[in-house]
Structure 1
Amino acid sequence: MIASRRSVLRSIGAAALGAAFAPRAAIAAEGRLSIVATTGMIADTARAIGGELVEVKALMGPGVDPHAYRQTRTDILAMRRADLILWNGLYLEAQMEEVLGDLSGLVPVRAVAETIPAEQRIAHDDYADRFDPHVWMDPALWREVAFAIRDAMSETAPHDAAAFTANAEAYTAELDVLASYANDVLGSVPEERRVLLTAHDAFNYFGRAYGYEVIGIQGISTESEAGLNRITELVNLLVDRGIAAVFVESSVSDRSIRALIEGAAAEGHEVRIGGELYSDAMGSPGTYEGTYVGMIDHNATVIATALGGEAPERGMTGKLSAGS
C-alpha cells in the first residue's frame, strides 16, 4: 500500500516535483502563503481568514462530489508546491487519503474537521469509529473548523498570526449571525413539516442544529446506490405522511429523487421539488452562493420557504440570486 502511494507521486516526475522549490519557511516569509484546499467550503473560509496574506486554490469546484473525487496530476503538483494543504478529513475525501498521507511528509497537511471533538460529531450508522463528515452544515461547528484553519495558517506563517486571529474573529462573528438567521427562518416552519428529504445523508448536522428530521435516499457517502426496496420504502413514507416537497442537490444526480416523485404520483400523491440545495459543494465562483455563508443562507432560505415557513426572498442580506 505504501509503495503504491509513493508510485503515484513518482509518476508525476521527480524533476517536476523538485524544481524551483525554495524552503517552505522562506516561501511563507517572503510572500503570500500558498494554500491548497480540497473543498470549496474550506477554501472560502481560508480566504476569509487569510485575506490578502494568502493565495488559496480549491481542488473541487461547483457540482463536484468529494466522496468520489480522485486527484489529478495537476492537483498533486499544486499540493506539492503549496505551503499548506487543508482537507476536511473524517473520510470525506476517501479517494485522496493515501496521497494526502504521503504528501504530509513533504508539506504541512491538516484535516481541519477532525479537530472537532468526537462528542460533537455524528457517528456513522454502519462503521464503528467513523463519523459523518458533513460538519459544514452547522455554522456553529464550522466555527471550530475556522479556528483550526487559523491555527494551521499561524503555525505555517507565524509572522502573520495576529492578522489571521483578527480575521478569524470577524469571520466567526459572521457565522454567528448566519446561525441565528437560519434558526429564525427554519423555526418558522410548522413542526409537522420539518422533514428534509434529499438525495443523500449530507444534512444530519443541519437537522440536529435546527430540529429537522433528515432522510437521505443514499447513505452518508454517495458511493452507495439506492435500491428498489429503498425507493419503495420512501415512496410509502411520502404518501403515508403527506410529505409534499423533496430536495435535489447540486453535486448529486437527481435520478433517485425523480423516481420518488414518480412513485408517489403512481400512488395518487403529488410531491414537488422544493428546490436545489448545496450539499457537498458550493455555488459558482464569483457568486454569493459560491461562498460558505451564501451556501448556508441559500439552503436555509430555500428549505424554509418550500416547507411553509417564512424567509426573505433574497435571503439573510438580500444577496441571494433571483430564483434561489
Structure 2
Amino acid sequence: MPRSGSARLDPRIDRRPIRLAVVGTVALALTIVASGCGASDAGNVKSPEPGKPVVVATTGMVADLATHVAGEHVEVVTLMGPGVDPHLYKPTIADVRAIRDADLVLYSGLKLEEGLFRQFEAREKAGAAVAAVTRGIPQHELLTPPDFEGHPDPHVWHDVALWARCLDVVTDELAAIAPQHEETFQRNANGYRWLLQAEDERVRAAIATIPQKRRVLVTAHDAFGYFSRAYDIPVRSVQGVTTESEAGVADVNALAKFLADSGVPAIFAETSVSDRAVKAVVEGANRRGGNVRISPTPLYSDALGARGSDAESYVGTIAANVAAIVTELGGELPEGGLLPAE
C-alpha cells in the first residue's frame, strides 16, 4: 500500500560522503526476523497474510519500535542481524528486494545507515513510504561531535527517554499504511512508552551507584555520547562516532595514559566492533603501571543481541549494557534487576 509524495527522508542528511579525521578515541518478547552476524534477514521474508502490510526496518532497534507498536497487524522484517555494524553495512540483493517490495521502510537516520541511502531514495521516488524514526527529535537535542563534520551523532537509542520519542513517528507511519488499526497502534505505543520510561529510571539509578572516581565509561568507539549525557557518566573511546576510521597510535597512547593515571579499572569492547584497538589500549595502560582489563562482557553499541539471549530486545540490550558497566566499575545493581515489570 505505498503512497506517493511521502518525502520522509531525513532532511538533516545531505548526500555528500562523510570525511572523518582519525580521532581519539524486559521480558517483552520480540518477533523480529533476525539472523547471525553479518547476515541480512530480508531473504527470510515469507508471503505475508493477504492485506497484511510489510514493514522493513533497518536495525534491531528500529524493528523493536515497529514491532511493539504494530502488534499482530503488520509483518516487520529486519535487515541487519545481531552483531552487524550499521556504519559499514552494504545491502545484499535480498535487502534491495525487500526494500522494493515493502509497504513502509523505517530506518534510524542521522547517517547511521549511509550504505542504504541510495535504496531509500529510489524507493521514495517510486512513491513509497520511507521514514527516519529520529526525524521528530529537535536539532537542539541532538549531539554533534566535533569530529563528525557538523552531522548529528546517530546513536540516539542509548538515551532511553530520547529513543522513546521516536515512537510518535513509527505510530504515524504505521497508521498511514494501516489506518484501520490506528487506535491499536496508539494504544500499543503508549504502553511501550510507559515501559521505556520505567527502564530509563532504573538505568539512571543504577549508574548513580558507581563511585564517582570510577564513573568513566571507556569504549571501543564513541557510540555512547547520548548515554553519557542522559545518565551522567563521562565517556572516552578509542575510535570516533563512526567505525569507518581507524584509531591512530597517538589516540591509543593518550587513552592508555588516561586509564593508567585515572584508576578506571575496565575498558569495554563492543559486539559489532573489532577489539584490536581496545587490546592495544589495555597493553599500553598496564605498561604504564595501570591495572586495567577488558570487560568479559562486551557492550551492544550498534546492534541488539542474538535471538534467545537476554539482549534480543531493545530493553534487554540496554539492561545488559548497564549491568556490565555497573558491575565492572564498582556500582550496585538493583535487587529487582534492570528489567521493568510489564
TM band (smaller chain): 0.7 to 0.9
Q: Contact conserved, 1:32 with 1:52, CA < 8 A, in 2? A: no
Deviation at 1:32, TM superposition (A): 2.2
Report the AA paired with residue 134 of structure 1: H
Which of 300, 319, 323 is the aligned partner of 2:322?
300
Report the AA paired with residue 313 of structure 2: T
Deviation at 1:318, TM superposition (A): 9.2
Which position in structure 2 is the counterpart of 1:143? Answer: 164
Q: Does 1:92 align with 2:136?
A: no
Deviation at 1:129, TM superposition (A): 3.9
Q: Does 1:81 align with 2:101?
A: yes
**CA distance in structure 1 between the aligned counterparts of 2:169 and 2:185, rounded to whole angstroms:** 11
Is the alpha carbon distance of 1:88 and 1:196 closer, same or farther for their aligned partners in structure 2, counting shifts above 3 Å? Answer: same
**CA distance in structure 1 between the aligned counterparts of 2:243 and 2:337, rounded to whole angstroms:** 29
Deviation at 1:54, TM superposition (A): 1.1
Deviation at 1:127, TM superposition (A): 4.2
Identity of aligned residues (%): 43
Which of 65, 68, 77 is the aligned partner of 1:57?
77
Q: Give a deviation string over 1:198-257, Cα, whole Å, max 9, x none.
A: 000100000000001111211100001001111011111111111211111000011111
**CA distance in structure 2 between the aligned counterparts of 1:315 and 1:79, rounded to whole angstroms:** 38
Q: Contact conserved, 2:52 with 2:74, CA < 8 A, in 1? A: yes
Q: Give a deviation string over 1:170-214, Cα, whole Å, max 9, x none.
A: 001000110011011111111221100100010000000000111
Bigger drift between 162-171 and 145-154 goes to: 145-154
Is the alpha carbon distance of 1:40 and 1:258 closer, same or farther for their aligned partners in structure 2, counting shifts above 3 Å? Answer: same
Q: Contact conserved, 1:247 with 1:273, CA < 8 A, in 2? A: yes
Q: Contact conserved, 1:298 with 1:315, CA < 8 A, in 2? A: no
Which position in structure 2 is the counterpart of 1:209? Answer: 230
Secondary structure, in 3 states, of the residue corresponding to 2:196?
A: helix
Deviation at 1:123, TM superposition (A): 1.1
**CA distance in structure 1 between the aligned counterparts of 2:335 and 2:273, rounded to whole angstroms:** 25
Is the alpha carbon distance of 1:156 and 1:129 closer, same or farther for their aligned partners in structure 2, counting shifts above 3 Å? Answer: farther
Q: Give a deviation string over 1:149-187, Cα, whole Å, max 9, x none.
A: 111111221111101000000001000110011011111
Which of 282, 300, 324 is the aligned partner of 1:261?
282
Which of 202, 209, 220 is the aligned partner of 1:181?
202
Report the AA paired with residue 308 of structure 2: G
Structure 2 residue ranges without an equivalent (≥5): 1-14, 16-47
Report the AA paired with residue 155 of structure 1: A
Determine which structure has more spread, i.e. the larger CA radius of gyration: 1
- The residue correspondences of 1:101-120 to structure 2 (distance < 5 A) are 101-106=121-126, 107-120=128-141
Q: Does 1:45 align with 2:55?
A: no
Deviation at 1:124, TM superposition (A): 3.0
**CA distance in structure 2 between the aligned counterparts of 1:76 and 1:268, rounded to whole angstroms:** 51
Q: Does 1:290 align with 2:318?
A: no
If each structure's helix is expressed as a fraction of its own residues, which one has the higher value?
1
Secondary structure, in 3 states, of the residue corresponding to 2:206?
A: helix
Structure 1 residue ranges without an equivalent (≥5): 3-26, 320-324
Report the AA paired with residue 68 of structure 1: L
Higher RCO, Cα 8 Å, sep 6+: 2
Q: Contact conserved, 1:301 with 1:311, CA < 8 A, in 2? A: yes
Deviation at 1:313, TM superposition (A): 8.1
Report the AA paired with residue 37 of structure 1: A
Which position in structure 1 is the counterpart of 2:20? Answer: none
Q: Contact conserved, 1:32 with 1:55, CA < 8 A, in 2? A: yes
CA RMSD of aligned residues (A): 1.9
Which position in structure 2 is the counterpart of 1:72? Answer: 92
Number of residue pairs aligned between Structure 1 and Structure 2: 293
**CA distance in structure 2 between the aligned counterparts of 1:33 and 1:315, rounded to whole angstroms:** 37
Which of 183, 188, 191 is the aligned partner of 1:162?
183
